[in-house]
Amino acid sequence: MAEKTYEIRITRQDPDTGEKTKSFYQIPVIPGMTVLEALWYIVDRIDGSLSFRYSCRGGVCGSCSMQINREVQLACQVQLSMLPQGTIIIEPLPRLSVIKDLVVDMKPFMNKYNSVQPFFANKKLPQQGEMVQSAEQRTDIEDSVKCIMCGACYVVCPLVYKDADFMGPAAMAAAQRFAFDSRNEQGKQRLVEVNGLGDFHGCLKVGKCSHVCPKGVDPARRIEEIREYVEALSKNN
C-alpha cells in the first residue's frame, strides 16, 4: 500500500519576471502537522526555493497569514488534518503585491496603521504611580488591543479593494483603541482631530473583517463604536 500523503498546491511567483506558477508537493501524514510546518517540510526536504514568512508559530506574531483553501488564515494555526480531503490550496494574501511566492508587500497595510497615529502622547502625567483605569473602562479597549497586525481583515475588506486610500479595518480598530482608552487625554475627540472622519463613514458594514480576524478584535464592532460616537457628536452639534 502506498504511503498516505497530503497533496499541497502552492501558488508561486517569480520575483524577477512576475511569472505565476503552481507547484504541487506531497507531504507525509504527521499527526498535528500545521500548514506552516508543512511549508518548512517542503523547504527542508523537497524544494528550498519556496518563500514564506514565519516567526512565532503560535498564533501571536501575525507573520504567516495567507490563503488556505481560499480562506485567509494563519498558517501556524491550521492543521492539515483539519482541512477537507483533496488537494490543499495555498496562495498568498490577496490584493497586496507579491514579493515572492507567499511573501507579499505589507507596507501599504503597515503605513495605514501608522497613519492613525497609534500612540499615547499624554502631556500631563501623574507625578507618582500609574494612571488609574477601572477594569470596566479597560473593557472598552480589551478587544482592540488583541490585534496582531496580520492583515487578514485588510485584505478581505471590499472597500479596501474599491478604494486604495481607505485605511481599512485594522487601522480603524487601532483608532478606536486610542480614542476609547479612558487614560488618553485626547479622548474620543481624537477621532475628529487626528483621524478625520471620512473613512469611518465609508465602512460598508460587510463584516468580513470580523469573520477572518484570528484574534477576536472584531473590527466591524470597533468601527460601529466609532460611528455611534460620531453620530452622537453630529446630533449634538
Partner 1 sequence: MNYDVIVVGSGLAGLRAAIAAIHGGASTAVLSMVYAVRSHSVAAQGGINAALGNVDPEDNWKNHAFDTVKGSDYLADQKAVCRMTEAAIPTIYEMEHWGTAFSRLPDGRIAQRPFGGAGKQRTCYAEDRTGHILLYTLFQQSVRNKAVFYDEWMVIDLVIEDNKCVGLIAMDMNSGELKSFGAKAVIFATGGAGRVYGASTNALICTGSGIGVAYRAGIPLKDMEFVQFHPTTLFGTNILITEGARGEGGYLYNRLGERFMKRYASEKMELAPRDIVARAIRTEVLEGRGFENAYVHLDLRHIGEEKLNERLPGIREIGLKFAGKDIVSDPLPIQPGQHYTMGGIDCDIDGKTKVDGVYAAGECACVSVHGANRLGGNSLLETIVFGKIAGDHAADYIASRKDAVNQSLLKNKLDAKEKFVSDLQSSKGKEKVGVLREKLRSTMIRNVGVFRKLDEMKEADKTITELKERYTKISFTHPSRKFNLELLTAMEMETMLEIGHVITEGAIRRTESRGGHYRVDYPERDDENWLKHTICTQGENGEPVFSDSEVDISIWEPKERKY
In the complex with partner 1, which residue's Cβ is closer, 60 or 159? 60
Contact map string, positions 91 to 120, toward partner 1, x by CB under 8 A: --------xxx-x--x---x---x--xxxx
Among 22, 97, 142, 201, interactor with partner 1 by CB under 8 A: 142
Among 2, 17, 19, 32, interactor with partner 1 by CB under 8 A: 32
With contacts defined by CB under 8 A, how many residues of the chain interact with partner 1?
A: 59
In the complex with partner 1, which residue's Cβ is closer, 61 or 159? 61
Q: Is 132 in the site for partner 1 (CB under 8 A)?
A: yes
What b/e readout covers 159-187, taking b as 16+ CB neighbours within 10 angstroms? bbeeeeebbbbbbbbbbbbbbbbeebebe
Are 37 and 52 in contact by the 8 Å Cβ rule? The answer is no
Q: Is 194 in the site for partner 1 (CB under 8 A)?
A: no
In the complex with partner 1, which residue's Cβ is closer, 36 or 157? 36
Q: What is the torsion angle, in degrees rounded to the nearest 10, for the CA atoms of residue 48, residue 29, residue 22 and residue 95?
A: -90
Are 146 and 213 in contact by the 8 Å Cβ rule? The answer is no
Using CA atoms, how far residue 49 sits from 34, 69, 106, 153, in Å, is 20, 22, 21, 29
Least Å distance, CB 10 to partner 1, is 13
Contact map string, positions 53 to 92, toward partner 1, x by CB under 8 A: xxxxxxxxxxx-------------x---------------
Least Å distance, CB 61 to partner 1, is 4
**Strand 5-13 to strand 88-91: parallel, antiparallel, or no bridges (unpaired)?**
parallel
Among 6, 12, 35, 52, interactor with partner 1 by CB under 8 A: 52
Among 5, 21, 26, 49, interactor with partner 1 by CB under 8 A: 49
Residue that is written with C-alpha cell 501558488 in the block: 11
Q: Is 200 in the site for partner 1 (CB under 8 A)?
A: no
In the complex with partner 1, which residue's Cβ is closer, 58 or 84? 58
Q: Is 44 in the site for partner 1 (CB under 8 A)?
A: yes
The Cα angle at residue 181 between residues 179 and 186, in degrees rounded to 5: 50
Nearest to 179 by CA among 167, 166, 192: 192
Give the cell for residue 4. 498516505
Q: Is 229 in the site for partner 1 (CB under 8 A)?
A: no
Q: Residue 113: in which H helix or E strand, if any?
A: helix 107-115
CA distance 174 to 170: 6
- Can you tell me whether residue 71 is helix, strand or coil? strand
Residues forming contacts to partner 1 in the complex (CB under 8 A) are 15-16, 32, 40, 43-45, 47-63, 77, 99-101, 103, 106, 110, 114, 117-122, 125-126, 129-135, 137-138, 141-142, 145-146, 148-149, 178, 181, 183-184
